[in-house]
Chain A
Amino acid sequence: MNRVPAAPFRLAGALLLGAVALFASCKGSAQTSDGGWSAASSGNQNAIWSGPGGAGARQRTDHPPTLTVAELWSLRTVRIFESRDASGALLRFRELFQSDGTGNLRVDVLEVWDEISQAWILPHPLLEALYGMRTSYIARLRDLHLHARGLYANYRWEQMPGTVTVDGRACVTTRAHSLRNLGPIDLVHEVGTGLLLGWTVWDESGTQVMQSLTTLTVEMNPNQSSVQWVNDVLPEEPYNPIVHDALLGITPRALTYPPAGFYREKAVVEDLRAQVSPVNYVYLEYWTDGLRTLFVMQHAISNGNGGGGLNLAQMSHEGGIVAVESDASDRRIGAVGLLPKDDILMVVGDLHE
Protein backbone atom coordinates (compact mmCIF):
# COMPACT_ATOMS: atom_id res chain seq x y z
CA MET A 1 0.00 0.00 0.00
CA ASN A 2 1.31 3.45 -0.87
CA ARG A 3 1.45 5.70 2.19
CA VAL A 4 1.67 9.46 1.90
CA PRO A 5 4.46 10.75 4.17
CA ALA A 6 2.71 12.72 6.94
CA ALA A 7 5.60 14.62 8.50
CA PRO A 8 6.05 17.30 5.80
CA PHE A 9 2.35 18.04 5.88
CA ARG A 10 2.36 18.29 9.63
CA LEU A 11 5.26 20.68 9.50
CA ALA A 12 3.59 22.73 6.80
CA GLY A 13 0.39 22.86 8.82
CA ALA A 14 2.21 23.99 11.90
CA LEU A 15 4.06 26.67 9.96
CA LEU A 16 0.80 27.83 8.44
CA LEU A 17 -0.89 28.17 11.80
CA GLY A 18 2.19 29.83 13.22
CA ALA A 19 2.11 32.31 10.38
CA VAL A 20 -1.55 33.04 11.10
CA ALA A 21 -0.69 33.59 14.76
CA LEU A 22 2.14 35.90 13.79
CA PHE A 23 -0.13 37.80 11.45
CA ALA A 24 -2.74 38.20 14.17
CA SER A 25 -0.06 39.40 16.55
CA CYS A 26 1.26 41.92 14.11
CA LYS A 27 -2.25 43.12 13.37
CA GLY A 28 -2.86 43.68 17.03
CA SER A 29 0.30 45.68 17.51
CA ALA A 30 -0.06 47.78 14.43
CA GLN A 31 -3.47 49.33 14.92
CA THR A 32 -3.36 53.03 14.45
CA SER A 33 -6.98 54.05 14.73
CA ASP A 34 -7.37 56.99 17.09
CA GLY A 35 -4.67 56.03 19.50
CA GLY A 36 -2.03 54.64 17.19
CA TRP A 37 -1.68 51.53 19.29
CA SER A 38 1.63 49.83 19.40
CA ALA A 39 3.16 47.27 21.62
CA ALA A 40 5.16 48.67 24.49
CA SER A 41 8.73 49.18 23.55
CA SER A 42 11.33 49.81 26.16
CA GLY A 43 13.35 51.68 23.59
CA ASN A 44 10.73 54.39 23.34
CA GLN A 45 9.90 54.84 26.98
CA ASN A 46 11.51 58.25 27.02
CA ALA A 47 9.37 59.57 24.22
CA ILE A 48 7.55 62.73 25.16
CA TRP A 49 3.79 62.65 24.89
CA SER A 50 2.38 65.85 23.54
CA GLY A 51 -1.28 65.19 22.96
CA PRO A 52 -3.31 63.14 20.53
CA GLY A 53 -1.20 62.10 17.60
CA GLY A 54 2.01 62.64 19.53
CA ALA A 55 5.05 60.50 19.08
CA GLY A 56 6.18 57.61 21.17
CA ALA A 57 5.19 54.09 21.99
CA ARG A 58 1.98 53.65 23.91
CA GLN A 59 0.85 50.79 26.04
CA ARG A 60 -2.65 49.48 25.99
CA THR A 61 -4.04 48.37 29.27
CA ASP A 62 -7.06 46.28 30.03
CA HIS A 63 -8.15 48.25 33.03
CA PRO A 64 -8.66 51.84 34.03
CA PRO A 65 -6.02 53.16 36.41
CA THR A 66 -6.51 52.88 40.13
CA LEU A 67 -6.89 56.48 41.19
CA THR A 68 -7.39 58.36 44.37
CA VAL A 69 -8.77 61.86 44.29
CA ALA A 70 -7.36 64.86 46.07
CA GLU A 71 -10.24 65.21 48.54
CA LEU A 72 -9.25 61.90 50.11
CA TRP A 73 -5.85 63.26 51.10
CA SER A 74 -4.62 65.82 53.57
CA LEU A 75 -2.96 68.20 51.17
CA ARG A 76 -2.70 71.63 49.67
CA THR A 77 -2.24 72.08 45.95
CA VAL A 78 -1.96 75.01 43.62
CA ARG A 79 -3.35 74.25 40.21
CA ILE A 80 -4.52 75.83 36.99
CA PHE A 81 -7.95 75.11 35.61
CA GLU A 82 -8.46 75.89 31.95
CA SER A 83 -11.69 75.90 30.03
CA ARG A 84 -12.57 76.94 26.52
CA ASP A 85 -15.44 79.41 26.25
CA ALA A 86 -18.06 79.55 23.54
CA SER A 87 -15.85 81.81 21.41
CA GLY A 88 -13.01 79.31 21.57
CA ALA A 89 -10.79 81.28 23.94
CA LEU A 90 -9.14 79.47 26.84
CA LEU A 91 -9.97 80.84 30.26
CA ARG A 92 -7.45 80.20 33.01
CA PHE A 93 -7.92 80.19 36.75
CA ARG A 94 -5.20 79.60 39.31
CA GLU A 95 -6.76 77.78 42.24
CA LEU A 96 -5.74 76.80 45.76
CA PHE A 97 -7.17 73.43 46.74
CA GLN A 98 -7.13 72.32 50.36
CA SER A 99 -8.41 69.13 51.91
CA ASP A 100 -7.93 67.42 55.25
CA GLY A 101 -8.73 63.97 53.87
CA THR A 102 -11.84 63.55 55.99
CA GLY A 103 -14.28 65.50 53.85
CA ASN A 104 -13.37 69.06 54.75
CA LEU A 105 -12.58 71.10 51.66
CA ARG A 106 -11.74 74.55 50.48
CA VAL A 107 -11.14 75.77 46.93
CA ASP A 108 -10.10 79.38 46.37
CA VAL A 109 -9.42 81.23 43.17
CA LEU A 110 -6.07 82.98 43.48
CA GLU A 111 -5.69 84.61 40.10
CA VAL A 112 -7.36 84.87 36.71
CA TRP A 113 -5.49 85.01 33.44
CA ASP A 114 -6.15 88.24 31.57
CA GLU A 115 -5.86 87.77 27.83
CA ILE A 116 -5.58 91.48 27.14
CA SER A 117 -2.66 92.18 29.42
CA GLN A 118 -1.32 88.63 29.08
CA ALA A 119 -0.84 88.47 32.82
CA TRP A 120 -2.34 86.94 35.93
CA ILE A 121 -4.61 89.37 37.73
CA LEU A 122 -6.48 89.24 41.02
CA PRO A 123 -10.00 87.87 40.75
CA HIS A 124 -13.13 89.90 41.20
CA PRO A 125 -14.35 89.68 44.85
CA LEU A 126 -17.64 88.23 43.66
CA LEU A 127 -15.78 85.46 41.87
CA GLU A 128 -13.87 84.75 45.06
CA ALA A 129 -17.15 84.54 46.95
CA LEU A 130 -18.67 82.22 44.36
CA TYR A 131 -15.72 79.89 44.60
CA GLY A 132 -16.28 79.73 48.32
CA MET A 133 -19.93 78.93 47.79
CA ARG A 134 -19.23 76.18 45.26
CA THR A 135 -16.23 74.45 46.73
CA SER A 136 -17.80 71.05 47.11
CA TYR A 137 -19.26 71.17 43.61
CA ILE A 138 -15.92 72.08 42.13
CA ALA A 139 -14.14 69.34 44.00
CA ARG A 140 -16.71 66.61 43.64
CA LEU A 141 -18.42 67.37 40.35
CA ARG A 142 -16.27 69.57 38.16
CA ASP A 143 -13.06 67.75 39.02
CA LEU A 144 -13.01 64.43 37.22
CA HIS A 145 -13.66 61.20 39.07
CA LEU A 146 -13.82 57.59 38.00
CA HIS A 147 -17.26 56.20 38.67
CA ALA A 148 -18.28 52.64 39.45
CA ARG A 149 -19.52 51.53 36.08
CA GLY A 150 -19.07 52.25 32.43
CA LEU A 151 -15.29 52.33 32.51
CA TYR A 152 -14.94 49.18 30.45
CA ALA A 153 -17.92 49.48 28.17
CA ASN A 154 -17.37 53.13 27.29
CA TYR A 155 -13.61 53.57 27.32
CA ARG A 156 -10.46 51.92 26.12
CA TRP A 157 -7.46 52.62 28.30
CA GLU A 158 -3.94 53.38 27.28
CA GLN A 159 -0.93 54.34 29.32
CA MET A 160 1.10 56.99 27.60
CA PRO A 161 4.86 56.53 27.39
CA GLY A 162 7.23 58.11 29.83
CA THR A 163 6.55 60.03 32.97
CA VAL A 164 5.80 63.62 33.80
CA THR A 165 6.89 65.30 36.99
CA VAL A 166 4.48 67.29 39.12
CA ASP A 167 6.30 69.18 41.84
CA GLY A 168 8.91 66.45 42.05
CA ARG A 169 6.37 63.62 41.93
CA ALA A 170 6.66 61.09 39.13
CA CYS A 171 3.36 60.76 37.32
CA VAL A 172 2.08 58.83 34.37
CA THR A 173 -0.66 59.75 31.96
CA THR A 174 -3.47 57.36 31.17
CA ARG A 175 -5.67 58.10 28.24
CA ALA A 176 -9.33 57.11 28.23
CA HIS A 177 -10.44 56.68 24.62
CA SER A 178 -14.17 57.07 24.32
CA LEU A 179 -15.69 54.14 22.46
CA ARG A 180 -18.67 56.37 21.71
CA ASN A 181 -16.74 59.10 19.90
CA LEU A 182 -16.96 61.63 22.71
CA GLY A 183 -13.27 62.43 22.56
CA PRO A 184 -10.36 61.24 24.72
CA ILE A 185 -9.62 62.23 28.29
CA ASP A 186 -6.09 62.19 29.73
CA LEU A 187 -5.61 61.49 33.41
CA VAL A 188 -2.33 62.39 35.11
CA HIS A 189 -1.75 60.39 38.27
CA GLU A 190 1.15 59.82 40.59
CA VAL A 191 3.06 56.59 40.27
CA GLY A 192 2.49 54.47 43.34
CA THR A 193 -0.26 56.43 45.09
CA GLY A 194 -2.52 56.91 42.06
CA LEU A 195 -3.25 60.45 43.25
CA LEU A 196 -5.04 62.25 40.41
CA LEU A 197 -3.15 65.48 39.80
CA GLY A 198 -4.48 66.58 36.46
CA TRP A 199 -6.57 65.84 33.42
CA THR A 200 -7.29 67.05 29.94
CA VAL A 201 -10.63 66.75 28.20
CA TRP A 202 -10.29 66.79 24.42
CA ASP A 203 -12.98 67.58 21.90
CA GLU A 204 -14.65 64.85 19.87
CA SER A 205 -11.95 64.92 17.21
CA GLY A 206 -9.22 64.73 19.84
CA THR A 207 -7.48 67.84 18.56
CA GLN A 208 -8.63 70.66 20.84
CA VAL A 209 -8.46 70.94 24.61
CA MET A 210 -11.88 71.68 26.10
CA GLN A 211 -10.92 71.56 29.77
CA SER A 212 -7.78 70.81 31.69
CA LEU A 213 -6.45 70.85 35.20
CA THR A 214 -2.73 71.09 35.87
CA THR A 215 -1.29 70.84 39.35
CA LEU A 216 1.69 73.09 39.98
CA THR A 217 2.58 72.36 43.60
CA VAL A 218 1.65 69.65 46.07
CA GLU A 219 2.12 69.88 49.83
CA MET A 220 1.14 66.76 51.72
CA ASN A 221 -0.04 66.91 55.34
CA PRO A 222 0.28 70.68 55.65
CA ASN A 223 -0.50 72.63 58.78
CA GLN A 224 -4.22 73.36 58.33
CA SER A 225 -5.03 74.73 61.76
CA SER A 226 -5.99 78.12 60.31
CA VAL A 227 -7.99 76.87 57.34
CA GLN A 228 -11.67 77.75 57.38
CA TRP A 229 -13.38 74.78 55.76
CA VAL A 230 -16.32 75.42 53.48
CA ASN A 231 -19.60 73.70 54.07
CA ASP A 232 -21.61 74.51 51.00
CA VAL A 233 -23.31 71.20 50.32
CA LEU A 234 -27.01 71.72 49.91
CA PRO A 235 -29.29 69.45 51.89
CA GLU A 236 -30.44 66.62 49.70
CA GLU A 237 -32.30 63.35 50.09
CA PRO A 238 -32.65 60.34 47.84
CA TYR A 239 -35.81 60.82 45.81
CA ASN A 240 -38.87 59.13 47.25
CA PRO A 241 -42.07 59.88 45.32
CA ILE A 242 -44.26 59.39 48.37
CA VAL A 243 -42.36 61.99 50.34
CA HIS A 244 -41.09 64.36 47.70
CA ASP A 245 -43.67 64.72 44.96
CA ALA A 246 -45.78 66.93 47.18
CA LEU A 247 -42.77 69.08 48.06
CA LEU A 248 -41.67 69.29 44.44
CA GLY A 249 -45.16 70.06 43.19
CA ILE A 250 -44.56 67.72 40.27
CA THR A 251 -43.97 64.05 39.66
CA PRO A 252 -40.59 63.89 37.92
CA ARG A 253 -40.67 62.34 34.50
CA ALA A 254 -38.39 59.41 33.84
CA LEU A 255 -35.82 59.57 31.10
CA THR A 256 -36.58 56.97 28.45
CA TYR A 257 -33.60 57.64 26.20
CA PRO A 258 -30.50 58.55 28.17
CA PRO A 259 -27.28 58.95 26.20
CA ALA A 260 -25.68 55.69 25.16
CA GLY A 261 -23.43 54.14 27.78
CA PHE A 262 -24.73 56.27 30.65
CA TYR A 263 -26.37 55.04 33.81
CA ARG A 264 -28.22 56.87 36.55
CA GLU A 265 -25.98 57.10 39.57
CA LYS A 266 -28.53 58.70 41.85
CA ALA A 267 -31.74 60.68 41.95
CA VAL A 268 -32.10 63.22 44.74
CA VAL A 269 -34.22 66.13 45.84
CA GLU A 270 -32.23 69.20 46.82
CA ASP A 271 -33.57 71.64 49.34
CA LEU A 272 -32.88 75.15 48.07
CA ARG A 273 -34.83 77.02 50.69
CA ALA A 274 -31.66 78.39 52.23
CA GLN A 275 -30.63 79.80 48.87
CA VAL A 276 -31.75 83.04 47.33
CA SER A 277 -33.85 81.24 44.78
CA PRO A 278 -37.48 81.22 43.72
CA VAL A 279 -37.25 77.43 43.66
CA ASN A 280 -37.59 75.59 46.95
CA TYR A 281 -36.96 72.05 45.84
CA VAL A 282 -35.39 70.63 42.73
CA TYR A 283 -35.33 67.06 41.50
CA LEU A 284 -31.87 66.07 40.26
CA GLU A 285 -30.59 63.03 38.47
CA TYR A 286 -26.89 62.32 38.19
CA TRP A 287 -25.95 60.27 35.17
CA THR A 288 -22.47 59.17 34.20
CA ASP A 289 -20.68 57.00 31.68
CA GLY A 290 -17.88 56.38 34.15
CA LEU A 291 -16.02 59.65 33.52
CA ARG A 292 -18.39 62.21 32.08
CA THR A 293 -21.31 63.43 34.12
CA LEU A 294 -24.78 64.53 33.07
CA PHE A 295 -27.17 66.40 35.37
CA VAL A 296 -30.86 66.37 34.66
CA MET A 297 -33.10 68.56 36.74
CA GLN A 298 -36.81 69.20 36.98
CA HIS A 299 -38.61 71.68 39.18
CA ALA A 300 -42.08 73.13 39.28
CA ILE A 301 -42.87 76.46 37.66
CA SER A 302 -46.04 78.45 37.78
CA ASN A 303 -45.93 80.00 34.33
CA GLY A 304 -44.92 77.28 31.91
CA ASN A 305 -45.28 77.30 28.18
CA GLY A 306 -49.00 76.78 28.50
CA GLY A 307 -48.98 73.83 26.20
CA GLY A 308 -48.96 76.06 23.17
CA GLY A 309 -47.28 73.38 21.14
CA LEU A 310 -43.84 74.95 20.96
CA ASN A 311 -41.20 73.72 23.36
CA LEU A 312 -38.78 76.61 23.41
CA ALA A 313 -35.31 75.69 24.66
CA GLN A 314 -32.27 77.77 25.54
CA MET A 315 -28.87 76.27 25.00
CA SER A 316 -25.44 77.44 26.07
CA HIS A 317 -22.04 75.81 25.99
CA GLU A 318 -18.67 76.51 27.48
CA GLY A 319 -15.62 74.39 28.18
CA GLY A 320 -17.24 71.44 26.49
CA ILE A 321 -20.13 71.74 28.93
CA VAL A 322 -23.51 72.06 27.26
CA ALA A 323 -26.55 73.32 29.15
CA VAL A 324 -30.10 73.22 27.83
CA GLU A 325 -33.24 74.30 29.62
CA SER A 326 -36.82 74.29 28.48
CA ASP A 327 -40.17 74.91 30.10
CA ALA A 328 -43.07 72.51 29.89
CA SER A 329 -46.53 73.41 31.13
CA ASP A 330 -45.83 72.69 34.79
CA ARG A 331 -42.08 72.32 35.09
CA ARG A 332 -38.69 73.52 33.98
CA ILE A 333 -36.46 70.85 32.51
CA GLY A 334 -32.72 71.31 32.45
CA ALA A 335 -29.77 69.18 31.45
CA VAL A 336 -26.09 69.99 31.82
CA GLY A 337 -23.25 67.74 30.79
CA LEU A 338 -19.90 67.23 29.18
CA LEU A 339 -21.55 65.85 26.09
CA PRO A 340 -22.33 66.80 22.49
CA LYS A 341 -25.18 69.24 22.02
CA ASP A 342 -27.43 66.67 20.38
CA ASP A 343 -27.16 64.35 23.36
CA ILE A 344 -28.25 67.08 25.76
CA LEU A 345 -31.03 68.21 23.44
CA MET A 346 -32.22 64.63 23.13
CA VAL A 347 -32.45 64.34 26.91
CA VAL A 348 -34.49 67.52 27.26
CA GLY A 349 -36.68 66.55 24.33
CA ASP A 350 -37.25 63.17 25.90
CA LEU A 351 -38.65 64.79 29.04
CA HIS A 352 -41.18 66.80 27.06
CA GLU A 353 -44.31 64.73 26.72
Chain B
Amino acid sequence: MASELNPDELSHELIAALRSLGGERAPAALADGVELARLPQVSAPPELWARVSAELRKDSPEQRTRLMAWPRWAAAASILLLAGLAWFGGAELLGTKRGLGIEEFGLAQAVPAETRRMLIARLVVREVPPEKLSPLTRSFMMGSMAPMRDDG
Protein backbone atom coordinates (compact mmCIF):
# COMPACT_ATOMS: atom_id res chain seq x y z
CA MET B 1 0.00 0.00 0.00
CA ALA B 2 1.31 3.45 -0.75
CA SER B 3 0.15 7.03 -0.35
CA GLU B 4 -0.86 8.77 -3.54
CA LEU B 5 0.37 12.06 -2.13
CA ASN B 6 4.06 12.97 -2.26
CA PRO B 7 4.91 15.14 0.78
CA ASP B 8 7.38 17.04 -1.37
CA GLU B 9 4.50 18.21 -3.55
CA LEU B 10 2.64 20.08 -0.80
CA SER B 11 1.49 23.49 -1.86
CA HIS B 12 3.19 26.58 -0.52
CA GLU B 13 -0.06 27.68 1.05
CA LEU B 14 -0.43 24.41 2.97
CA ILE B 15 3.21 24.55 4.06
CA ALA B 16 2.68 28.13 5.25
CA ALA B 17 -0.47 27.14 7.11
CA LEU B 18 1.30 24.25 8.80
CA ARG B 19 4.17 26.49 9.84
CA SER B 20 1.69 28.98 11.28
CA LEU B 21 0.73 26.32 13.82
CA GLY B 22 4.02 27.11 15.57
CA GLY B 23 4.92 24.62 18.28
CA GLU B 24 1.80 22.45 17.79
CA ARG B 25 2.61 18.73 17.45
CA ALA B 26 0.65 16.35 15.32
CA PRO B 27 -1.01 13.45 17.19
CA ALA B 28 0.97 10.25 17.30
CA ALA B 29 -1.71 8.45 15.28
CA LEU B 30 -1.30 10.95 12.45
CA ALA B 31 2.46 10.53 12.53
CA ASP B 32 2.00 6.70 12.43
CA GLY B 33 -0.40 7.03 9.51
CA VAL B 34 1.99 9.21 7.54
CA GLU B 35 4.83 6.83 8.31
CA LEU B 36 2.75 3.87 7.13
CA ALA B 37 1.78 5.71 3.98
CA ARG B 38 5.42 6.25 3.12
CA LEU B 39 6.25 2.53 3.38
CA PRO B 40 6.76 0.72 0.09
CA GLN B 41 4.09 -1.83 -1.03
CA VAL B 42 4.96 -5.38 0.02
CA SER B 43 3.14 -8.70 -0.29
CA ALA B 44 1.81 -10.51 2.75
CA PRO B 45 3.31 -13.93 3.44
CA PRO B 46 1.28 -16.79 1.88
CA GLU B 47 0.61 -18.32 5.32
CA LEU B 48 -1.11 -15.10 6.42
CA TRP B 49 -3.29 -15.01 3.31
CA ALA B 50 -4.32 -18.61 3.90
CA ARG B 51 -5.42 -17.87 7.43
CA VAL B 52 -7.26 -14.67 6.48
CA SER B 53 -9.01 -16.34 3.56
CA ALA B 54 -10.24 -19.13 5.78
CA GLU B 55 -11.68 -16.58 8.20
CA LEU B 56 -13.31 -14.62 5.40
CA ARG B 57 -14.98 -17.72 3.95
CA LYS B 58 -16.77 -18.27 7.22
CA ASP B 59 -18.69 -15.02 6.73
CA SER B 60 -19.16 -15.28 3.00
CA PRO B 61 -22.73 -14.90 1.59
CA GLU B 62 -22.57 -18.41 0.22
CA GLN B 63 -21.92 -19.82 3.66
CA ARG B 64 -24.68 -17.72 5.17
CA THR B 65 -27.15 -19.09 2.63
CA ARG B 66 -26.20 -22.58 3.61
CA LEU B 67 -26.70 -21.78 7.27
CA MET B 68 -30.09 -20.16 6.57
CA ALA B 69 -31.35 -23.12 4.61
CA TRP B 70 -32.60 -25.04 7.64
CA PRO B 71 -34.33 -22.10 9.39
CA ARG B 72 -36.12 -21.32 6.13
CA TRP B 73 -37.54 -24.82 6.02
CA ALA B 74 -38.35 -24.58 9.69
CA ALA B 75 -40.10 -21.26 9.19
CA ALA B 76 -42.23 -22.68 6.39
CA ALA B 77 -43.18 -25.66 8.47
CA SER B 78 -43.92 -23.44 11.45
CA ILE B 79 -46.23 -21.30 9.34
CA LEU B 80 -48.05 -24.45 8.29
CA LEU B 81 -48.28 -25.47 11.91
CA LEU B 82 -49.68 -22.13 13.05
CA ALA B 83 -52.10 -21.99 10.14
CA GLY B 84 -53.35 -25.43 11.06
CA LEU B 85 -53.78 -24.47 14.66
CA ALA B 86 -55.56 -21.24 13.90
CA TRP B 87 -57.83 -22.61 11.21
CA PHE B 88 -59.01 -25.79 12.79
CA GLY B 89 -59.44 -24.80 16.35
CA GLY B 90 -56.05 -25.43 17.82
CA ALA B 91 -56.25 -21.77 18.76
CA GLU B 92 -57.50 -23.05 22.08
CA LEU B 93 -53.97 -24.13 22.73
CA LEU B 94 -52.86 -20.59 22.13
CA GLY B 95 -55.47 -19.17 24.48
CA THR B 96 -57.27 -17.07 21.93
CA LYS B 97 -60.88 -16.04 22.07
CA ARG B 98 -62.03 -18.93 19.92
CA GLY B 99 -60.91 -21.36 22.52
CA LEU B 100 -61.20 -20.23 26.08
CA GLY B 101 -62.93 -16.94 25.50
CA ILE B 102 -61.16 -13.63 25.52
CA GLU B 103 -61.05 -11.79 28.78
CA GLU B 104 -63.73 -9.14 28.72
CA PHE B 105 -63.46 -6.23 31.07
CA GLY B 106 -65.55 -6.14 34.19
CA LEU B 107 -66.90 -9.69 34.28
CA ALA B 108 -67.23 -11.36 37.64
CA GLN B 109 -64.67 -13.97 38.48
CA ALA B 110 -65.59 -17.45 39.60
CA VAL B 111 -66.45 -17.63 43.28
CA PRO B 112 -64.40 -20.16 45.26
CA ALA B 113 -66.45 -23.20 46.19
CA GLU B 114 -65.92 -22.64 49.88
CA THR B 115 -67.20 -19.07 49.62
CA ARG B 116 -70.23 -20.25 47.65
CA ARG B 117 -71.07 -22.78 50.31
CA MET B 118 -70.64 -20.17 53.03
CA LEU B 119 -72.96 -17.69 51.28
CA ILE B 120 -75.63 -20.29 50.55
CA ALA B 121 -75.41 -21.57 54.10
CA ARG B 122 -76.54 -18.16 55.32
CA LEU B 123 -80.04 -19.04 54.12
CA VAL B 124 -82.65 -21.45 55.33
CA VAL B 125 -84.39 -22.25 52.08
CA ARG B 126 -87.92 -23.40 51.52
CA GLU B 127 -89.25 -24.24 48.06
CA VAL B 128 -92.63 -22.74 47.33
CA PRO B 129 -94.88 -22.42 44.27
CA PRO B 130 -94.57 -19.09 42.45
CA GLU B 131 -97.84 -17.78 43.84
CA LYS B 132 -96.39 -17.93 47.35
CA LEU B 133 -93.72 -15.38 46.51
CA SER B 134 -94.23 -11.70 47.21
CA PRO B 135 -96.08 -9.86 44.43
CA LEU B 136 -92.96 -8.01 43.35
CA THR B 137 -90.70 -11.05 43.12
CA ARG B 138 -93.49 -12.96 41.48
CA SER B 139 -94.02 -10.15 39.05
CA PHE B 140 -90.40 -10.34 38.01
CA MET B 141 -90.47 -14.07 37.78
CA MET B 142 -93.74 -14.46 35.96
CA GLY B 143 -94.13 -11.21 34.17
CA SER B 144 -90.65 -10.62 33.02
CA MET B 145 -89.52 -13.99 31.98
CA ALA B 146 -91.50 -17.00 33.08
CA PRO B 147 -95.05 -17.78 31.96
CA MET B 148 -98.05 -16.38 33.73
CA ARG B 149 -100.21 -19.42 34.05
CA ASP B 150 -100.88 -18.92 37.71
CA ASP B 151 -102.03 -15.39 37.17
CA GLY B 152 -104.82 -16.71 35.00
Report whether B136 and A279 are in contact in the complex, using a CB–CB cutoff of 8 Å: yes
Indicate if B106 sits at the interface (CB-CB under 8 A): yes
CB-CB under 8 A for A323 and B141, given A28-B84, A297-B136: yes
Interface residues of A in 321-347 (CB under 8 A from B): 321, 323-326, 332, 334, 336, 338, 342, 345-346
> Which residues of A in the span 224-274 have a Cβ within 8 Å of any Cβ on B?
257-263, 272
Q: Which single residue of chain A is at the shortest CB-CB distance from B130?
A: A316
Are A313's CB and B124's CB within 8 A? yes
Question: In this assembly, does A145 line the interface, its C-beta being within 8 Å of a C-beta of chain B?
Answer: no
The residue in chain A whose Cβ has the minimal distance to the Cβ of B91 is: A28
Q: Are A313's CB and B123's CB within 8 A?
A: yes
Tell me if A349 and B119 are in contact (CB < 8 A): yes
For the complex, would chain B's binding face be called helix, strand, loop or mixed by DSSP majority?
helix
Complex partner residue of B144 from A31, A142, A314, CB under 8 angstroms: A142
Q: Is the CB of B135 within 8 A of A277?
A: yes
Which chain A residues (1-53) contact chain B, with CB distance < 8 Å? 6, 10, 13-14, 16-18, 20-22, 24-29, 31, 37, 39
- A345, chain B: closest CB distance, angstroms: 5
Interface residue ranges of B88-111 to A (CB < 8 Å): 88-93, 97-98, 100-111
- A85 interfacial contact with B, CB 8 Å: yes
Which of A17, A123, A257, A323 makes the CB contact (< 8 A) with B130? A323
Residues of chain A within 8 A of B135, CB atoms compared: 277
Q: Given contacts A312-B124, A349-B123, is CB(A323)–CB(B104) below 8 Å?
A: no
Stretch among A68-76, A127-135, A192-200 lining the B interface: A127-135
A347 to chain B, nearest CB (A): 8
Which listed residue, A31, A257, A263, touches B111 by the CB 8 Å rule? A257
Query: Which one, B88, B118, B119, B130, contacts A24 given CB within 8 A?
Result: B88
**Per-position contact with B for A144-182: 1 when CB-CB < 8 Å, else 0?**
000001101111100000000000000000000001000
For A258, what are the chain B residues with a Cβ–Cβ distance below 8 Å?
108
Q: For the complex, is B128 an interface residue (Cβ under 8 Å from A)?
A: yes
Residues of A within 8 A of B83 (CB): 21
Chain B residues within an 8 Å CB radius of A134: 139, 143-144, 148
* Interface pair A123/B120, CB less than 8 Å apart: no
B34 at the interface (CB under 8 A from A): no
Assess whether B11 is interfacial by the CB under 8 Å rule. Answer: no
* A21 x B146 contact (CB < 8 A): no
| A137 is an interface residue with CB less than 8 A from chain B | yes
- Secondary structure at the A interface, as helix, strand, loop or mixed, is mixed
Binary interface encoding of chain A residues 54-92 relative to chain B, with 1 for a CB under 8 A from any of its CBs, else 0:
000000101000000000000000000101011000010
Q: Smallest CB–CB gap between A331 and chain B, Å? A: 12
Q: Cβ of B152: which chain A residues have Cβ within 8 Å of it?
A: 112, 123-124, 126-127, 130
Q: Is the CB of A126 within 8 A of B133?
A: no
B123 near A352: Cβ-Cβ < 8 Å: yes
| Residues in B whose Cβ lies below 8 Å from that of A17 | 74, 77-78, 80-81
A/B interface sample: 11 pairs, CB < 8 A: A14-B76, A24-B84, A28-B90, A28-B91, A141-B144, A154-B101, A179-B100, A179-B101, A313-B126, A334-B137, A346-B111
Chain A positions within 8 Å of B, measured between CB atoms, are 6, 10, 13-14, 16-18, 20-22, 24-29, 31, 37, 39, 60, 62, 81, 83, 85-86, 91, 93, 112, 123-124, 126-127, 130-131, 133-134, 137-138, 141-142, 149-150, 152-156, 179, 257-263, 272, 277, 279, 282, 289, 293, 295, 297, 299, 310-316, 318-319, 321, 323-326, 332, 334, 336, 338, 342, 345-346, 348-350, 352
Instruction: List 14 additional A-B contacts (Cβ < 8 Å) besides A28-B92, A324-B123.
Output: A21-B77, A21-B83, A130-B148, A134-B144, A138-B143, A152-B102, A154-B107, A314-B132, A315-B128, A318-B141, A321-B145, A332-B134, A336-B137, A336-B140
Top 4 A-B residue pairs of the complex, sorted by shortest distance between their CB atoms:
A28-B89, A28-B88, A17-B77, A127-B152
Residues of B that sit less than 8 Å from A by CB: 69-70, 73-74, 76-78, 80-81, 83-85, 87-93, 97-98, 100-111, 115-116, 118-130, 132-149, 151-152
